[in-house]
Chain A
Amino acid sequence: MCESCGCGDPDSTVTLTDLGSGARTVLRAPHAHSHPHGQDIGQLDHAPHRHGPGGEVIRLDEPVLAANARIAARNRGWFEGRGVLALNLVSSPGSGKTTLLERTIASLAGEIEICVIEGDQMTDRDGERIRAAGARTVQINTGAGCHLEADMVASAVETLDPASGSILMIENVGNLVCPAMFDLGERMKVAVISTPEGDDKPLKYPHMFRAAGLVLINKTDLAPYLDFDEGACRRNLAEVNPAAEMLSLSARTGAGMDAWLDRLRAMLASVSGTSGSARA
Chain B
Amino acid sequence: MHEVGLARSIFAMVAERAGGRPVSCVRLSLGPLACVEPSALAFSWQVLTEGTALDGAALQFLDGEGDSLVVREFEFAETV
Q: Bound pair: A and B?
A: yes
Residues of B within 8 A of A23 (CB): none
Q: Is the interface of B mostly helix, strand, loop or mixed?
A: mixed
B10 interface hit (Cβ, 8 Å): yes
Interface size grouping (class) on chain B: 35 or more
Q: Hey, which chain B residues are within 8 Å of A6, CB to CB?
A: 5
Residues of A within 8 A of B (CB-CB), count: 42
Cβ of B42 under 8 Å from chain A: no
- Would you give 28 A-B contacts (Cβ < 8 Å), ordered by A? A2-B12, A3-B8, A4-B4, A6-B5, A7-B8, A37-B12, A38-B16, A38-B53, A41-B19, A41-B21, A44-B17, A55-B24, A55-B75, A55-B79, A56-B78, A58-B76, A59-B73, A60-B13, A61-B72, A62-B13, A62-B70, A63-B71, A64-B13, A65-B6, A147-B2, A181-B2, A207-B33, A210-B33
Q: Which residues of B contact A145 (CB under 8 A)?
A: 5
Bits for B35-77, please: 1 = Cβ < 8 Å to A, else 0: 1100000000000000001000000000000011111111111
Whether A43 contacts B1 by the Cβ 8 Å rule is no
Known interface pairs A55-B80, A64-B70, A181-B35; A2-B2 also in contact (CB < 8 Å): no
1/0 contact trace for A48-74 toward B, CB 8 Å?
Answer: 000110111111111111010000000
Asked whether any CB of chain B lies closer than 8 Å to the CB of A39, the reply is: yes
Bound-state Cα–Cα, A3 to B10, Å: 10
Chain B residues with CB under 8 Å of chain A are: 1-2, 4-6, 8-21, 24, 28, 33-36, 53, 67-80
| A146, B34: Cα distance in complex, Å | 17
A264 proximal to B (CB < 8 A): no
Which residues from chain A contact B4 at a C-beta distance below 8 Å?
A: 4
Which of A7, A65, A177, A180 has the most chain B CB within a 10 Å cutoff?
Answer: A65
Q: How far is the CA of A34 from the CA of B50 in the complex (A)?
A: 24
